[in-house]
Amino acid sequence: MNVFDFDNTLYHGESSVDLALFMMRNNRRIILWLPKIFYGLFRYKLCLISRERTEELINAFMQDVLHDKEEVLGITRTFWEKHSRKLDKAMISRIQKEDVIVSAGPSFLLEAISDRLGTHNLVCSEVDFERMCVARLCFRSNKLKRFREVYGDEGIERLYTDSYNDRALMDISEQVYIVKKGRIKRIR
Protein backbone atom coordinates (compact mmCIF):
# COMPACT_ATOMS: atom_id res chain seq x y z
CA MET A 1 0.00 0.00 0.00
CA ASN A 2 1.02 3.58 -0.63
CA VAL A 3 0.39 6.36 1.87
CA PHE A 4 -0.08 10.00 0.94
CA ASP A 5 0.06 12.95 3.29
CA PHE A 6 -2.67 15.44 2.41
CA ASP A 7 -1.58 19.03 3.08
CA ASN A 8 1.14 20.33 0.76
CA THR A 9 1.24 16.94 -0.96
CA LEU A 10 -2.21 16.33 -2.43
CA TYR A 11 -3.48 19.81 -1.58
CA HIS A 12 -1.48 22.96 -2.28
CA GLY A 13 -1.47 24.58 1.14
CA GLU A 14 -2.74 23.84 4.62
CA SER A 15 -6.38 22.86 4.17
CA SER A 16 -7.35 23.43 7.82
CA VAL A 17 -5.93 26.96 7.76
CA ASP A 18 -7.67 27.63 4.44
CA LEU A 19 -10.92 26.34 5.95
CA ALA A 20 -10.54 28.65 8.96
CA LEU A 21 -9.91 31.62 6.66
CA PHE A 22 -12.91 30.62 4.53
CA MET A 23 -15.09 30.37 7.64
CA MET A 24 -14.13 33.92 8.57
CA ARG A 25 -16.67 35.25 6.04
CA ASN A 26 -19.51 33.90 8.19
CA ASN A 27 -17.90 34.15 11.60
CA ARG A 28 -15.88 37.27 12.36
CA ARG A 29 -14.67 35.80 15.68
CA ILE A 30 -12.15 33.83 13.65
CA ILE A 31 -10.23 37.06 12.98
CA LEU A 32 -9.23 37.05 16.65
CA TRP A 33 -7.75 33.58 16.15
CA LEU A 34 -5.63 34.34 13.07
CA PRO A 35 -2.45 35.27 14.94
CA LYS A 36 -2.67 32.07 17.02
CA ILE A 37 -3.42 29.96 13.92
CA PHE A 38 -0.46 31.29 11.95
CA TYR A 39 1.92 31.23 14.91
CA GLY A 40 0.88 27.64 15.67
CA LEU A 41 1.34 26.63 12.03
CA PHE A 42 4.78 28.23 12.00
CA ARG A 43 5.78 26.34 15.16
CA TYR A 44 4.32 23.09 13.75
CA LYS A 45 6.40 23.36 10.57
CA LEU A 46 9.52 23.83 12.70
CA CYS A 47 8.59 20.97 15.08
CA LEU A 48 8.43 23.41 17.98
CA ILE A 49 4.95 22.67 19.32
CA SER A 50 3.80 19.63 21.25
CA ARG A 51 0.79 17.50 20.38
CA GLU A 52 -0.81 18.47 23.69
CA ARG A 53 -0.42 22.21 23.07
CA THR A 54 -1.71 21.82 19.51
CA GLU A 55 -4.75 19.97 20.81
CA GLU A 56 -5.41 22.70 23.41
CA LEU A 57 -5.32 25.41 20.74
CA ILE A 58 -7.60 23.51 18.37
CA ASN A 59 -10.12 22.76 21.11
CA ALA A 60 -10.21 26.37 22.28
CA PHE A 61 -10.69 27.53 18.68
CA MET A 62 -13.49 25.05 18.01
CA GLN A 63 -15.37 25.81 21.21
CA ASP A 64 -15.11 29.54 20.63
CA VAL A 65 -16.15 29.77 16.98
CA LEU A 66 -18.13 26.66 15.98
CA HIS A 67 -21.72 25.92 16.84
CA ASP A 68 -22.74 22.47 15.63
CA LYS A 69 -21.94 19.60 13.27
CA GLU A 70 -24.40 20.62 10.54
CA GLU A 71 -22.90 24.11 10.40
CA VAL A 72 -19.39 22.68 10.07
CA LEU A 73 -20.36 20.14 7.38
CA GLY A 74 -22.27 22.77 5.40
CA ILE A 75 -19.34 25.18 5.47
CA THR A 76 -17.01 22.33 4.49
CA ARG A 77 -19.11 21.49 1.39
CA THR A 78 -19.07 25.14 0.33
CA PHE A 79 -15.34 25.35 1.06
CA TRP A 80 -14.58 22.50 -1.35
CA GLU A 81 -16.68 24.09 -4.08
CA LYS A 82 -14.25 27.01 -3.97
CA HIS A 83 -10.99 25.28 -3.02
CA SER A 84 -10.97 22.02 -4.97
CA ARG A 85 -8.79 23.83 -7.51
CA LYS A 86 -5.95 23.51 -4.98
CA LEU A 87 -6.03 19.72 -5.22
CA ASP A 88 -3.02 18.39 -7.12
CA LYS A 89 -4.58 16.32 -9.91
CA ALA A 90 -1.26 14.75 -10.92
CA MET A 91 -0.57 13.53 -7.38
CA ILE A 92 -4.15 12.37 -6.89
CA SER A 93 -3.93 10.34 -10.12
CA ARG A 94 -1.28 8.17 -8.38
CA ILE A 95 -3.74 7.07 -5.69
CA GLN A 96 -5.17 3.56 -5.92
CA LYS A 97 -8.33 2.38 -4.18
CA GLU A 98 -6.32 0.47 -1.51
CA ASP A 99 -3.99 3.40 -0.74
CA VAL A 100 -4.29 5.55 2.38
CA ILE A 101 -4.33 9.31 2.93
CA VAL A 102 -3.10 10.64 6.27
CA SER A 103 -3.71 14.12 7.57
CA ALA A 104 -3.40 16.10 10.76
CA GLY A 105 -6.57 17.82 9.57
CA PRO A 106 -10.05 16.73 10.64
CA SER A 107 -11.67 13.70 9.02
CA PHE A 108 -14.80 15.67 8.05
CA LEU A 109 -12.66 17.85 5.77
CA LEU A 110 -11.34 14.93 3.71
CA GLU A 111 -14.48 12.78 3.91
CA ALA A 112 -16.30 15.56 2.06
CA ILE A 113 -14.11 14.94 -1.02
CA SER A 114 -13.01 11.33 -0.62
CA ASP A 115 -14.74 10.38 -3.90
CA ARG A 116 -12.42 12.80 -5.71
CA LEU A 117 -9.33 11.45 -3.93
CA GLY A 118 -9.51 7.93 -5.32
CA THR A 119 -9.71 6.23 -1.92
CA HIS A 120 -11.92 6.25 1.15
CA ASN A 121 -9.04 5.05 3.36
CA LEU A 122 -8.44 8.12 5.51
CA VAL A 123 -6.40 8.42 8.69
CA CYS A 124 -7.15 11.87 10.11
CA SER A 125 -7.81 13.74 13.29
CA GLU A 126 -11.24 12.96 14.71
CA VAL A 127 -13.65 15.56 16.06
CA ASP A 128 -16.20 15.02 18.82
CA PHE A 129 -19.01 17.27 17.60
CA GLU A 130 -21.04 16.94 20.79
CA ARG A 131 -18.24 18.40 22.91
CA MET A 132 -16.79 20.38 19.98
CA CYS A 133 -13.25 19.19 20.58
CA VAL A 134 -10.58 16.93 19.12
CA ALA A 135 -11.18 13.30 20.06
CA ARG A 136 -7.99 12.03 18.37
CA LEU A 137 -5.25 14.22 16.99
CA CYS A 138 -3.38 12.72 14.05
CA PHE A 139 -0.22 14.77 14.43
CA ARG A 140 3.49 13.90 13.95
CA SER A 141 4.21 10.51 15.59
CA ASN A 142 0.48 10.18 16.33
CA LYS A 143 0.01 9.65 12.58
CA LEU A 144 1.83 6.34 12.96
CA LYS A 145 -0.17 5.47 16.06
CA ARG A 146 -3.46 6.17 14.25
CA PHE A 147 -2.22 4.28 11.18
CA ARG A 148 -1.40 1.24 13.36
CA GLU A 149 -4.83 1.41 15.06
CA VAL A 150 -6.49 1.07 11.66
CA TYR A 151 -4.03 -1.06 9.64
CA GLY A 152 -2.12 -2.98 12.31
CA ASP A 153 1.38 -4.04 11.26
CA GLU A 154 0.72 -3.59 7.54
CA GLY A 155 3.72 -2.02 5.89
CA ILE A 156 3.94 1.02 3.65
CA GLU A 157 5.46 0.51 0.23
CA ARG A 158 5.67 4.20 -0.72
CA LEU A 159 5.13 7.28 1.42
CA TYR A 160 4.53 10.65 -0.22
CA THR A 161 4.83 13.64 2.12
CA ASP A 162 5.99 17.24 2.18
CA SER A 163 7.51 17.18 5.65
CA TYR A 164 10.04 15.48 7.87
CA ASN A 165 7.39 15.86 10.59
CA ASP A 166 6.21 12.51 9.20
CA ARG A 167 9.44 10.79 10.27
CA ALA A 168 7.55 8.05 12.17
CA LEU A 169 5.76 7.05 8.95
CA MET A 170 9.01 7.36 7.00
CA ASP A 171 10.64 4.85 9.33
CA ILE A 172 8.16 2.11 8.38
CA SER A 173 8.13 2.86 4.64
CA GLU A 174 10.15 1.01 2.02
CA GLN A 175 10.35 4.09 -0.19
CA VAL A 176 9.92 7.73 0.85
CA TYR A 177 9.19 10.63 -1.46
CA ILE A 178 9.24 14.32 -0.55
CA VAL A 179 6.74 16.37 -2.53
CA LYS A 180 7.29 20.11 -2.97
CA LYS A 181 4.95 22.09 -5.22
CA GLY A 182 4.15 19.02 -7.29
CA ARG A 183 7.79 17.96 -7.66
CA ILE A 184 8.60 14.52 -6.29
CA LYS A 185 12.02 13.56 -4.95
CA ARG A 186 12.84 10.11 -3.66
CA ILE A 187 14.83 10.30 -0.43
CA ARG A 188 14.83 6.58 0.38
Per-position pLDDT tens, the chain of length 188: 999 999 999 999 999 989 988 988 878 888 888 888 778 778 877 778 887 888 888 888 888 888 889 989 999 999 999 999 999 999 999 999 999 999 999 999 999 999 999 999 999 999 999 999 989 989 888 899 999 999 999 999 999 999 998 999 999 999 999 999 889 999 99
Q: In 3-state terms, what secondary structure has residue 97? A: coil
User: Model's pTM, two decimal places?
Assistant: 0.88
Closest to 104 (Cα-Cα) out of 140, 69, 72: 140
CATH homologous superfamily of domain 2-186?
Answer: HAD superfamily/HAD-like (3.40.50.1000)
From CA 60, how far away is CA 119, in angstroms rounded? 31
- Residue 8 has a pLDDT of 96
Map out the domains of the chain as residue ranges.
2-186
